[in-house]
Amino acid sequence: MTRGHAAVGFSTVVLVAITTLMACTSVSTGVGRSARAEPVDLPKGLVFPDGQAIAYRATGKTGTVIRDAEMSTRPLLARGVKAPAGFQVYEQFGSNYRAIAHRERGDRLIADIVAGKTYIVAPALTGRLRESLAALCRFTIEQPHRPPADIPRICTQILCQAQRFSAGSLAKTFGPLPDGMRPSLELGGWNPIPRDLCATCTRPRGEPADEPTFRVVCPAAPTPACDAGQVLFNDDFEADTVGNAPAPSPAGPPSGDAVSVSGDVTVVNAGSKAARLKRGNLPAIFAGILDTGATAAGSYCVKFTGRAGDNMHVPVVMTFNATNGARAWQLEIDNAGAALTSGGGRVVFLRDFSVPHSFRFDVNLSVRRFDMFVDGNQIVSGVPFLDTTFDVPSSLRFEVLQCILECFPAEYTVDGVRVTKTD
């Protein structure tokens, strides 16, 4: 495994700026009378199909979570806006906007929001337009090493083409597609071309801009690159010695992360070096201790690659933990399936985990919710933490239980363990 460190170096959205003044909406439960969602002008450089969008700003002490804030859709409905698929709320996420979980109650949208951030309310997208904007989001967010000047060219290709084309053809000009994007995905083919969207990618004379002047509102929850932001833990085991326990201080940055192991945990060669946890008379535990810099708010990305042994009679248990001992989730994996336990309940999904799979958690600590992906496919979205008292992230932990009355075999191999504060 290799390390990469980069910050997203461009501003990226897709909305027609329409200034709309709306009546203030209050908070049904929250942090006080002064905390609410206030109507504001749409941010500049923001483009959305047909200009049918409005904006709110969460007031109050910056970073404070406002529970069950209400945002009205009446200004849109009064303009005759149709929303056959309902409405969507988008939260400010760095220089982008991402879809967040919400509930609809009549003409009000209810969501947990964060003071100091801007929120966009718009009709939910469907069909190829949704697919096309989602594809653009993936290029702008998931590939932080991409030259910024590529982004308007990709945007022009996706949103300004009268002929349909496959996503795979983009790879010929712009290099590898984002992980998990199907080369056969159809893009373009607009008739008529959505000019407001297309215009955001180009200069007035129609040529691609040298630097992007727009930001992308993502119709689905984005998966920002784990190597974009402040790395708090990173261990790929490549500097470790096969047959020994993983080094207590992982090689390379950050300088303050650490590894704690107990039981039978050794470095093996599994194509690349990895840590193997093997059941024995003691619990086999691998714990990644985060570097300083974690806070009780913001967004985090947790990822690893893992492979279960062929005959796992007990699962490996993976948790993301706080300084107060609370857990964001508990994930149990054996060779035939996995079970995720969160504040939203228990989700079981079956597949062959005796071959390597990538796991990723996008964590919104400000509202204590997370998304989970396996091999780039979303398993859950916006589910609440297992423990609501979770404060500041401190570690992630893998454990295979010890032998007690029996000692049936169980082992799990983990690689590419990484935690990043992305916002």
**Concatenated DSSP letters of 292-329:** TT--SSSEEEEEEEEEE-TT-SS-EEEEEEETTS-EEE
Question: Considering 198, 218, 238, which residue would you say is the last residue of a domain?
Answer: 218
Collapsing DSSP to helix, strand or coil, 358 comes out as strand
Residue 160, pLDDT above cutoff 80: yes
Domain that holds residue 203: 127-218
CA-based nearest residue to 391, from 328, 301, 318, 299:
328
Are the C-beta atoms of 77 and 22 separated by less than 8 Å? Answer: no
Residue 72, pLDDT above cutoff 80: yes
In a shared domain, residues 212 and 273: no
How much is the average pLDDT of 16-40?
A: 48
Residue 33, pLDDT above cutoff 50: no
How much is the average pLDDT of 121-141?
A: 81
d(CA 34, CA 92): 20
In a shared domain, residues 155 and 302: no
Helix axes 150-159 and 127-141, enclosed angle (nearest 10): 170
Query: For residue 263, what is the domain's CATH number?
Result: 2.60.120.200
In a shared domain, residues 240 and 328: yes
**What local confidence, expressed as pLDDT, does residue 151 receive?**
82
Question: Considering 218, 247, 275, which residue would you say is the last residue of a domain?
Answer: 218
Q: How many C-beta atoms lie closer than 10 Å to residue 81's C-beta?
A: 17
**What local confidence, expressed as pLDDT, does residue 49 receive?**
67
**What local confidence, expressed as pLDDT, does residue 225 receive?**
63
Residue 5, pLDDT above cutoff 50: no
d(CA 103, CA 231): 33
Q: Which two tokens stand for residue 89?
A: 């709320």
In a domain, 312, yes or no: yes
How much is the average pLDDT of 95-115?
A: 84
d(CA 364, CA 94): 13
In a domain, 110, yes or no: no
Are the C-beta atoms of 206 and 163 separated by less than 8 Å? Answer: no
When mean pLDDT is compared over 46-50, 83-87, 366-370, 375-379, the highest value belongs to 366-370
In a domain, 254, yes or no: yes
In a shared domain, residues 198 and 288: no
d(CA 217, CA 137): 8
In a shared domain, residues 393 and 304: yes
Q: Report which of residues 302 and 145 the model is more confident about.
A: 302
Are the C-beta atoms of 279 and 403 separated by less than 8 Å? Answer: yes
Residue 203, pLDDT above cutoff 80: no
Instruction: Report the domain count for the chain.
Output: 2
Residue 100, pLDDT above cutoff 90: no
In a shared domain, residues 275 and 330: yes
Question: Considering 160, 188, 218, which residue would you say is the last residue of a domain?
Answer: 218
In a domain, 416, yes or no: yes
In a domain, 14, yes or no: no
User: What tens digit of pLDDT does each residue of 208-250 get?
Assistant: 555 666 777 777 655 556 667 899 999 999 999 999 999 999 9
Are the C-beta atoms of 85 and 51 separated by less than 8 Å? Answer: no
Which amino acid is residue 187, in one-letter code?
L
Q: Which helix (H) or strand (E) holds 420?
A: strand 411-421
How much is the average pLDDT of 376-404?
A: 90
In a shared domain, residues 320 and 370: yes
How much is the average pLDDT of 243-263?
A: 95
In a shared domain, residues 320 and 238: yes
Residue 22, pLDDT above cutoff 50: no
How much is the average pLDDT of 241-263?
A: 95
In a domain, 22, yes or no: no
When pLDDT is cut at 50, 70 and 90, the band that residue 320 belongs to is very high
Compute the mean pLDDT over every residue in the chain, rounded to the nearest whole number. Answer: 82
Question: Would you list the DSSP string of 98-110?
Answer: EEE--EEETTEEE
In a shared domain, residues 323 and 298: yes
Are the C-beta atoms of 52 and 123 separated by less than 8 Å? Answer: yes
In a shared domain, residues 406 and 380: yes
Residue 314, pLDDT above cutoff 80: yes
In a shared domain, residues 240 and 202: no
When pLDDT is cut at 50, 70 and 90, the band that residue 163 belongs to is confident
Say which range, 132-146, 198-212, 239-253, 317-331, has the weakest mean pLDDT: 198-212
Percent above pLDDT 70 for the chain:
84
**What local confidence, expressed as pLDDT, does residue 94 receive?**
67
In a shared domain, residues 356 and 212: no
User: What tens digit of pLDDT does each residue of 106-115 get?
Assistant: 899 998 888 8
In a domain, 40, yes or no: no
Q: pTM above 0.85?
A: no
Alpha carbon of residue 122 to chain centroid: 21
In a domain, 272, yes or no: yes
Are the C-beta atoms of 215 and 96 separated by less than 8 Å? Answer: yes
CA-based nearest residue to 95, from 117, 121, 123, 124:
117
Q: Report which of residues 406 and 331 the model is more confident about.
A: 331
When pLDDT is cut at 50, 70 and 90, the band that residue 206 belongs to is low
Residue 51, pLDDT above cutoff 70: no
d(CA 28, CA 69): 6
How much is the average pLDDT of 374-392?
A: 87
